[in-house]
Amino acid sequence: MREPVDTIAVIVARDGSLLVERRKLTKETDPGKIAIPGGHVEDGESLLDACRRELREELGLTCEVFSFIVSLPHRTGSEDQMVHYFSCDGWRGVPHCHEAEEIFWIDRQQLEVLAFKIDRTAALMFFTDAA
């Protein structure tokens, strides 16, 4: 069994909707899949620093306050991951698609568009806590 790689995923919410991305078709893992934005934690980087960096790199957003939701295991074709989910409280900026095919908003009734069960689980936990 491989040691899991730490990754983060950040829920950005607005008016009862979540911002999601369609992964680039050229990505090695999960091309074209719809997912909650996130990425790998770099060596020596804290989970929260990774959240800040990924939000800035992928979406052009800033956020200083994050709330932990859950950590869930995920297996890709190339690695085992531990995905740490956070929500961003009080994000700033205008979302831009820097690293995905597209970004768009979904509401609670549209969670089935998310390709991964772990994303649907974390999003449902977020909506339950936000209620």
pTM of the model: 0.94
- Residues in contact with 44: Cβ distance below 8 Å, sequence separation at least 6, in sequence order: none
How many structural domains compose the chain?
1
Q: Are 50 and 41 in contact (CB under 8 A)?
A: yes
pLDDT computed for residue 131 by the predictor: 59
DSSP state at residue 31 = T
Kind and range of the H or E element at 84?
strand 80-89
Note down the domain range covering 43.
5-130
CA gap 52, 14 in Å, rounded = 18
Residue-wise pLDDT for 103-124, tens only, equals 999 999 999 999 999 999 999 9
Residue-wise pLDDT for 55-100, tens only, equals 999 999 999 899 999 999 998 878 899 999 999 999 999 999 999 9
Domain of 48, CATH number, reads: 3.90.79.10
